[in-house]
Amino acid sequence: MGPLIGSPLVRLLLARVGQGVLVALMVGLLTFILVRALPGDMAYRIAAGRYGFDWVSTTAADAVRHDLGLDQPAPLALLAWIWDLLRFDLGQSLVTGRTVAEELSHQFGQSVLLAAWAAGLSLLIGPPLGVLAGLRPGRLVDRGLLLVAVLMRSVPPFAIGAVLILVLAVQARLLPAAGYGTPAHAVLPALTLALCLAAVSARVSRDAVMTVSGSAYYGFGRTKGLGGSLLFWRHGLRNAAVPVLTYFGVQFVALVEGMVVIETLFAWPGIGHALVHAIVARDVPMIQGAALTMGLFVVAMNTVIDVVCHLLDPRGEPS
Amino acid sequence: MTLQRWVGVFLLFSLLAFSWGVPLIWPLDPARQDLMVLLTPPDFDWSVGVTALGTDHLGRSLLARLAAAVRLSLGLALIGVVTAAVPGVVLGVLAGWCGGWIDRGLSLLADAVFALPGLLLVLLVLAIAPGSFIALYVGIALLLWLEFFRVVRAQTRRLRQAPAVQASRLLGFGPVLLFRRHLWPELAPVVLTLAAFGAAATVMATAALGFVSVGLRPPVAELGLMMTELLPYYDEAPWALLQPVAVMALLGLSLTLLAGKDPR
């Protein structure tokens, strides 16, 4: 165990676990404030959600009040609230009455599907273009890419989505504008998210390739007579992949943020859509569950990327 | 100043001139409806100005609404960035310079806030008081100070070891002089770049939240809100929807160019 604890991978994983706990604490704290700040008596609202509006009585409300610790002073109630959260006891939706876990499991699946499509598409678009630009810096591909990347970065994802709807769904009538059901419905939301991600990952790949192709070992490979493509596949790709992948982890934050807006724009029944609906309906357990799931999703994906980076470059702390 | 930054400055000043100039030249009310002229296309009739850029689905002048929306976005960006930069820089210098438990405490706080994706944080703060300008502002400031804090802290830690700073300390100069002479000149360009990025982030977050109808509420003229309102009319009036999109793009572009770094 001794050497294992000091190894960089274990340190990284421990840091990620700590980050996950911090996510839960932040979400718990903010939703706790949200409950306390709601107008009216929370116990009556929850009792109405649980037993139906006709069955709300003072005794039912008192039972709920006692159950949820709403009668306790704030610091104690906060501790109980966080404890429930850490046991993944998310409670029931105030709107539908079903448990939050049940509601979220379906929506989360849809979101992961969309995220996987978007991430996959962005990897097909971004890094190859970045490599092309990085191998010939200052040429047409490189300059064009910089222009497109700056433009894409200046516009929020939903505006790009709106333009895609106008062009591909309304003018060309190629794809459905919004909704869900057939694979065709996934194309526009996935493409919108992918384009936003690819604009950045292309630039990162371009810089990574330029760094690698300027390095001494790359020059030595050329000196010993390796041809352009062989040199790149043997010495370039793996070294350039580490920063690109590391940055891909940072981009998951952008992906999750984009999901909130893009799912709402395209009426995709995912977790971001659920979060927005829950906020509009002031459904606190659903807000908490959705925010927690999305936060932990980012942490989990970053952990995966940490491990992959470690496998690609096992020398120590990934850059 | 690079050419890129000059273009950014030029764009930003054009937008400022547009947003504050329009109400001076055409005293139009951005909330005034006229149900006789719904979704009129732009006629570029600048003498009255009401229909110069067309009207929306309630017959409100798009010219007046766009100007009001840009004023709102840039105003919020300005106060958000200023209120985030001041504590961010002060705490960052404090944490980087003092080290010890001050550093550890502040860094833990920053890590806790940073653990959540930024837009989620703003969403959760906004959920406490939906549609309120104050909640939106607090959420955005809470998000923005982090970036200032992290970067300034790292820079200060590095500068603290610099020979010039060490020499100044040995000569017995006070903290105010050290900050003015040695820290601020190095920090200022970074802080300005962060401020431009922060302003861009504020503009985009405000629009994104307005767009999913958890941000500011109608009838406020706000770019994201205008896009949501005009989206159902994409078939009849694509030019109406494209206007807030184009203004949003110009706003984001000007701030990104002003920041003067590669877009990341």
pLDDT digits (tens, 9 = 90+) for A89-132: 777 776 677 777 888 888 888 888 888 899 899 989 888 888 88
Which pLDDT score, from 0 to 100, does residue B79 have? 92
Return the CATH fold of A100-316.
MetI-like fold (1.10.3720)
Q: Which part of chain A has CATH 1.10.3720.10?
A: 100-316
Q: What is the pLDDT of residues B83-129, one digit of tens each?
A: 999 999 999 988 888 888 888 888 888 888 887 888 888 888 888 77
The answer to whether residues B139 and B121 touch, using CB atoms and an 8 Å cutoff, is yes
Cα–Cα distance measured from residue A130 to residue A128, given in angstroms and rounded to the nearest whole number = 5
Write the residue in B124, B207, B249 that is nearest to A30 by C-beta: B124
CA-CA distances (angstroms) from residue B227 to A164, B47, B53, B96, B258? 14, 27, 15, 43, 25
Helix, strand, or coil here: B99?
coil
3-class secondary structure per residue, chain A: CHHHHHCHHHHHHHHHHHHHHHHHHHHHHHHHHHHHHCCCCHHHHHHHHHHCHHHCCHHHHHHHHHHHCCCCCHHHHHHHHHHHHHCCCCCECCCCCCEHHHHHHHHHHHHHHHHHHHHHHHHHHHHHHHHHHHHCCCCHHHHHHHHHHHHHHHCCHHHHHHHHHHHHHHHCCCCCCCCCCCHHHHHHHHHHHHHHHHHHHHHHHHHHHHHHHCCHHHHHHHHCCCCHHHHHHHHHHHHHHHHHHHHHHHHHHHHHHHHHHHHHHCCCCCHHHHHHHHHHHCCHHHHHHHHHHHHHHHHHHHHHHHHHHHHHCCCCCCC
Which pLDDT score, from 0 to 100, does residue A6 have? 62
Structure tokens at B73: 């976005």
CB contact under 8 A, A154 and B116: no
Which stretch of A46-50, A191-195, A221-225 has the lowest confidence by average pLDDT? A46-50
Q: Give the pLDDT band (50/70/90) at residue B80.
A: very high
The answer to whether residues B196 and B202 touch, using CB atoms and an 8 Å cutoff, is no
Count of CA atoms in the C-beta half-sphere (13 A) of B264: 18
CA-CA distances (angstroms) from residue A80 to A99, A240, B80? 19, 47, 34
Tokens 């302003």: give the residue.
Answer: B199
Which residues of chain A does B127 touch, with a Cβ-Cβ cutoff of 8 Å?
Answer: 34, 279, 282, 287
Question: From B210, which residue of chain A is nearest by alpha-carbon distance?
Answer: A261
Average pLDDT score over residue span A187-194: 88
**Vertex B204: Cα angle to B14 and A172 (nearest 5):** 90
Rounded to the nearest angstrom, the minimum Cα separation between B131 and chain A is 10
CA dihedral B229, B235, B239, B244 (to 10 degrees): 30
Cα–Cα distance measured from residue A246 to residue A318, given in angstroms and rounded to the nearest whole number = 8
Q: Give the pLDDT band (50/70/90) at residue A38.
A: low
The answer to whether residues B146 and B114 touch, using CB atoms and an 8 Å cutoff, is yes
Rounded to the nearest angstrom, the minimum Cα separation between A33 and chain B is 8
The ipTM value here is: 0.79
CB contact under 8 A, B118 and A257: yes
Question: From B115, which residue of chain A is nearest by alpha-carbon distance?
Answer: A23
> In chain B, what are the domains?
3-258 (1.10.3720.10)
Q: Is the pLDDT of residue A241 over 60?
A: yes
Closest CA to B187 of B154, B144, B155: B155
Does B234 contact A at CB distance below 8 Å? yes
The answer to whether residues A81 and A33 touch, using CB atoms and an 8 Å cutoff, is no
Q: Is the pLDDT of residue A268 over 80?
A: yes
Rounded to the nearest angstrom, the minimum Cα separation between B95 and chain A is 20
Reported residue count of chain A is 319
Q: What is the pLDDT of residues A39-50, one digit of tens each?
A: 666 677 666 666
Residue B251: partners with Cβ closer than 8 Å, 6 or more residues away: A154, B15, B70, B73, B74, B203, B223
Cα–Cα distance measured from residue A272 to residue A269, given in angstroms and rounded to the nearest whole number = 8
